[in-house]
Amino acid sequence: MSAATPLPQERRLVTAIPGPKSQELQSRKLGAVPAGVGTTLPVYVSRAGGGVLEDVDGNSLIDFGSGIAVTNVGNSAAAVVARATEQLAAFTHTCFMVTPYEGYVAVAEQLNELTPGDHDKRTALFNSGAEAVENAVKIARAYTKRTAVVVFDHGYHGRTNLTMGLTAKNMPYKQGFGPFAPEIYRVPVAYPYRWLTGAENCAAEAAAQAIEIINKQIGAENVAAVIIEPIQGEGGFIEPAKGFLPAIAEFAKANGIVFVADEIQTGFCRTGQWFACEDEGVVPDLITTAKGIAGGLPLAAVTGRAEIMDAAHSGGLGGTYGGNPVACAAALGAIETMKSEDLNSKARRIGEVMLARLREIQEKFADSDRVRIGEVRGRGAMIAVELVKPGGKEPDPEATAAVAKACHAEGLVVLTAGTYGNVLRFLPPLVIPEHLLAEGLDILESAFAGV
Ligand code: PLZ
């Protein structure tokens, strides 16, 4: 919540969505910003905090998106504002590679402590998630002196050239933007809902298939890193069947492969744990983080085993802005908030409320001939429903878009995801008041009824 003037925690619609001022700004946007930079909901924000976004027309929308899993601590969280403001007034930049400052080191220490495993760790800071993933690959290659990188079906890792190559989905991320970097290999992931021989066989069969491809098509001895999201985000909130992640981690360990958990979307209390890989006790060699780390300021990190992190030669890692002092101050404020407000238990509570209500909605529409929820899934405040056509499991992206659109019109910000575009995903700020959570779910239910 804004430190200065707390925003009323209410949904309030005073114009159509988007309102006239937003529409005017949107037409300016169309004349000034390229079409490639899309907008889910062209409502122009003037203030945000807690569980709401206030727009330029005076509407107040319920936020089930957190700017794509970023404002876990809420927008303009008091500790983030206080620390970042103080840092802004002190100095804004020196470049850590030129004349360093404490904030960077303090963030690195926090990450070394908070990430899974009690081994000796190091952390390097960057600006974006994609940059963190790129650097994890650099580090793993330097350490192993191998080149191949293994990624998974439905995986998402960014929009830079290397990370586009690591990302599975063609449209909209890759189409026309190639050629992509070499030595990237994709293997199956344990997607229980769509596993052809059934969810109960999924973990073992998917792991066996992935390992066979690595052994037979790539050669395990050529693989520098396997990179996996412990719950796949853009791919549709796919929680790999239990046993899959440990099996891949174990295989990596046995073959000298660096196991990288991409926790950019799942990290920082989002799933009810500091990091989602803790759920199955998986300890990654490297972990990439961004998004929730700094309460909305751009910051990203690679954290991992000291001997791996130290493999890159002195001067081999860096960038002008990586670990910017204001972003670091914000991160310290965000982490402090996560601890003091016990956001892990808030996330778990959000999960309980959402899963129960969404399962009711699933039941209610089980016989609908227009819109069906095939699966309700997720952990903590990372929850989704996968929409299918009545009578089977065929993805229903049209109904998904229609439900999202209806939610938007009623002042509820929801996002879609999924390889097939048929997943509605819910990522509320972890500080959202419970009455807004309930109201958002009511709106969602009405949106289903209206399809
Ligand atoms: N890895 C797991 O979720 C970013 C992408 C939004 P950046 N996801 C949101 C979009 O359409 O561009 C993401 C992620 C995972 C890497 C990234 C990339 O993080 O900070 O967007 O570069």
CATH of the domain at 273: 3.40.640.10
Let me know whether 184 and 216 are in one domain: yes
| Of 340, 361, 393, the domain-final residue | 340
Mean pLDDT over residues 27-55, rounded?
A: 98
| pLDDT on residue 2 | 44
Let me know whether 326 and 349 are in one domain: no
| Of 278, 307, 340, the domain-final residue | 340
Q: What is the DSSP letter of 264?
A: T
**Contact 291/128 with Cβ under 8 angstroms?**
no
Mean pLDDT over residues 243-264, rounded?
A: 98
pLDDT tens, residue by residue, 102-158: 999 999 999 999 999 999 999 999 999 999 999 999 999 999 999 999 999 999 999
The domain in which residue 387 lies consists of: 20-76+342-450
**Contact 427/63 with Cβ under 8 angstroms?**
no
| pLDDT on residue 4 | 57
Provide the number of structural domains found in the chain.
Answer: 2
pLDDT tens, residue by residue, 382-438: 999 999 999 999 999 999 999 999 999 999 999 999 999 999 999 999 999 999 999
Position 8 in a domain = no
| pLDDT on residue 6 | 83
pLDDT at 47 exceeding the cut of 90: yes
Let me know whether 38 and 172 are in one domain: no
Let me know whether 96 and 205 are in one domain: yes
| Of 309, 340, 371, the domain-final residue | 340
Give the alpha-carbon dihedral of 430, 82, 332, 381, to 10 degrees.
Answer: 10
Nearest CA to ligand 1 atom 16: 157
Instruction: Name the pLDDT band for 187 (thresholds 50, 70, 90).
Output: very high
Give every CB contact of residue 305 below 8 A, 6+ residues apart in sequence. Answer: 117, 119, 120, 121, 285, 286
Let me know whether 203 and 325 are in one domain: yes
What CA–CA distance (Å, rounded) separates 57 from 19? 6
Give residue 307 CA to ligand 1 midpoint distance, Å.
27
Let me know whether 219 and 325 are in one domain: yes
pLDDT at 1 exceeding the cut of 90: no
pLDDT at 205 exceeding the cut of 70: yes
Let me know whether 264 and 209 are in one domain: yes
Let me know whether 85 and 171 are in one domain: yes
Name the token pair of 10: 């209410």
**Contact 203/384 with Cβ under 8 angstroms?**
no
**Contact 408/440 with Cβ under 8 angstroms?**
no
Q: Which amino acid is at 320?
A: T
Let me know whether 181 and 263 are in one domain: yes
Most ligand 1 atoms within 8 A of CB, residue of 237, 291, 321 to mutate = 291
Give residue 159 CA to ligand 1 midpoint distance, Å.
8
Instruction: Name the pLDDT band for 221 (thresholds 50, 70, 90).
Output: very high
Instruction: Name the pLDDT band for 212 (thresholds 50, 70, 90).
Output: very high
Q: What is the mean pLDDT of the chain?
A: 97
Position 365 in a domain = yes
Atom of ligand 1 nearest to the CA of 131: 22
What's the burial of 271, exposed, middle or buried (CB within 10 Å: 0-12/13-18/19+)?
Answer: buried
Residues with CB under 6 A from ligand 1: 68, 128-130, 133, 156-159, 229, 233-234, 262, 264-265, 290
Position 308 in a domain = yes
